[in-house]
């Protein structure tokens, strides 16, 4: 029984060794073949026939490469001699060679769009599917230099006049200008001609490939902080009891999509009309809600409504007699309205500093304190700090272009 088991193990080992040797030989041949097939001028889909040798393969590749180079040189010579008909013939021969060659491409994808422009095949160039396939253009070759010469001579622009359809003409014109222009110029050109691009596929392609707007500061979403002082004027019955005074304000703002919300803490002080030694003071917290009607880099304008609460009381100004007097205090809700104007004096950035001008009116209830109520009008001057969020721009397809 042990002899049978030993023989079985021996035969299995021999079988495994033979299989591995066969696989290594196959791998070595395939590796040599792929070494020659996988290159920029070779067709990766081609595989050697079983009876082909490496030497025969290298010879076939070399022959096709020479034929390709001869056709390409002849095509370029015809182009720079200005013989357009001869140039077109060699382009056709190269395309035919590209379709029939087994190993080497006639010309690479990076040349296709340049050739189509030079032979004025605008049907091909206005087709988004065709352009997508050959989207990369090689700038370091003779075809591109010829295109630069045409652009400098002015004949580059005239070539687009031969395209009858407005959308196709705009598409091809933008496409080829983008080969020479930087990102900002590309974006502006697309924005300027977007109304001509009636074909939405053409517009989508240009936007996805060339329209670029870097992150910008969001003027409609930010945080702000301000602090300063206000001059207050009382109106109504309370003005007969209390003189005009001043107010110290500190505010925290949040603006979301243009909607303005603010927590404003304030402390005000003024004198009694009847006795200069008695001061009328108060403190409160206002919640202001409104909208930013104007959002510019150096100027913002808001309107808001006020809701909050406050308290006020009288106080003896001379410390030595404070203990001899006791005045009641009063707590009450506040309401009113106002406006803000922010003016900035630092360069526009996500940390922006400026001055805030504020004006408004709100109620004052002081029946328990001075036996009168009314309203308080105020104008404030505050130091201001803005902190903007960043936003990524998106192309607005509903927006109309320049006409």
User: What is the pLDDT at residue 215?
Assistant: 64
Q: Does residue 114 contact residue 135 with C-beta atoms inside 8 Å?
A: no
- Range of weakest confidence among 136-140, 167-171, 243-247, 376-380: 136-140
327/331 Cα distance (integer angstroms):
14
φ, ψ of residue 273 in degrees (nearest 5): -70, -35
- Higher per-residue pLDDT: 13 or 196: 196
User: What is the pLDDT at residue 274?
Assistant: 80
278/317 Cα distance (integer angstroms):
6
Residues 128-174 pLDDT 10s? 988 888 777 767 777 777 777 777 777 777 888 888 899 999 998 88
319/363 Cα distance (integer angstroms):
30
Q: Does residue 342 contact residue 300 with C-beta atoms inside 8 Å?
A: yes
- Which CATH architecture fits 218-389? Beta Barrel (2.40)
Residues 227-242 pLDDT 10s? 999 999 999 999 888 9
- Range of weakest confidence among 2-11, 136-145, 160-169, 202-211: 2-11
Structural domain boundaries in the chain: 33-107, 108-214, 218-389
83/90 Cα distance (integer angstroms):
11
Q: Does residue 364 contact residue 312 with C-beta atoms inside 8 Å?
A: yes
Q: What percent of the chain has pLDDT over 90?
A: 31
pTM value?
0.50
In degrees to the nearest 10, what's the CA dihedral of 365, 366, 367, 373? -50
Residues 50-68 pLDDT 10s? 555 788 888 888 888 888 8
Q: Does residue 223 contact residue 387 with C-beta atoms inside 8 Å?
A: yes
- Mean pLDDT of the residues in the chain: 80
Which ranges of 298-382 does DSSP label H, i.e. alpha helix?
A: 367-370
φ, ψ of residue 372 in degrees (nearest 5): -160, 155
Q: If you average pLDDT over residues 259-279, what whole number do you get?
A: 88
- Looking up tokens 């035969």 gives 11
User: What is the pLDDT at residue 42?
Assistant: 45
63/44 Cα distance (integer angstroms):
18
Euclidean distance between the first and the last CA atom of the chain, given in angstroms as a whole number: 97
Q: Does residue 249 contact residue 233 with C-beta atoms inside 8 Å?
A: no
Residues 173-183 pLDDT 10s? 888 888 888 77
């Amino acid at each position: 029984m042990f002899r049978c088991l030993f023989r079985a193990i021996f035969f299995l080992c021999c079988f495994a060794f033979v299989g591995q040797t066969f696989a290594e030989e196959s791998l070595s041949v395939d590796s040599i073949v792929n070494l020659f097939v996988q290159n920029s001028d070779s067709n990766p889909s081609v595989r050697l026939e079983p009876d082909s040798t490496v030497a025969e393969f290298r010879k076939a590749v070399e022959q096709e490469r020479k034929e390709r180079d001869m056709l390409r040189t002849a095509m370029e010579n015809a182009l720079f001699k200005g013989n357009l008909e001869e140039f077109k013939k060699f382009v056709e021969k190269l395309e035919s060679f590209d379709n029939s060659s087994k190993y080497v491409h006639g010309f690479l994808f990076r040349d296709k769009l340049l050739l189509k422009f030079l032979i004025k095949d605008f049907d091909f160039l206005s087709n988004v599917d065709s352009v997508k396939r050959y989207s990369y253009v090689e700038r370091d070759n003779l075809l591109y230099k010829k295109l630069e010469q045409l652009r400098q001579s002015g004949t580059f622009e005239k070539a687009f006049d031969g395209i009858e359809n407005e959308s196709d003409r705009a598409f091809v014109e933008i496409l080829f200008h983008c080969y020479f222009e930087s990102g900002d110029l590309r974006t502006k050109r697309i924005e300027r001609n977007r109304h001509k691009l009636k074909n939405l596929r053409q517009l989508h392609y240009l936007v996805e490939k060339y329209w670029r707007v870097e992150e910008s500061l969001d003027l409609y979403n930010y945080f702000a902080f301000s602090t300063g002082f206000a001059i207050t004027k009382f109106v109504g019955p309370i003005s007969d009891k209390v003189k005009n005074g001043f107010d110290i304000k500190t505010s925290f703002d949040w603006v979301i999509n243009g909607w303005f919300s603010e927590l404003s803490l304030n402390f005000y002080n003024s004198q009694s009309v009847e006795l200069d030694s008695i001061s009328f003071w108060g403190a409160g917290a206002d919640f202001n809600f409104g909208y930013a009607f104007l959002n510019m880099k150096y100027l913002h304008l808001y309107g808001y409504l006020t809701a909050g609460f406050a308290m006020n009381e009288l106080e003896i100004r001379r410390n030595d007699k404070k203990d001899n007097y006791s005045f009641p205090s009063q707590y009450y809700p506040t309401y009113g309205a106002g406006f803000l104007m922010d003016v900035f004096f630092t360069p526009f950035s996500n940390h922006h500093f400026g001055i805030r001008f504020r004006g408004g009116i709100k109620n004052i209830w002081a029946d328990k304190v001075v036996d009168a109520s009314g309203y308080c009008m105020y104008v404030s001057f505050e130091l201001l700090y803005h902190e903007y969020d960043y936003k990524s721009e998106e192309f607005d397809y509903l927006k109309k272009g320049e006409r």
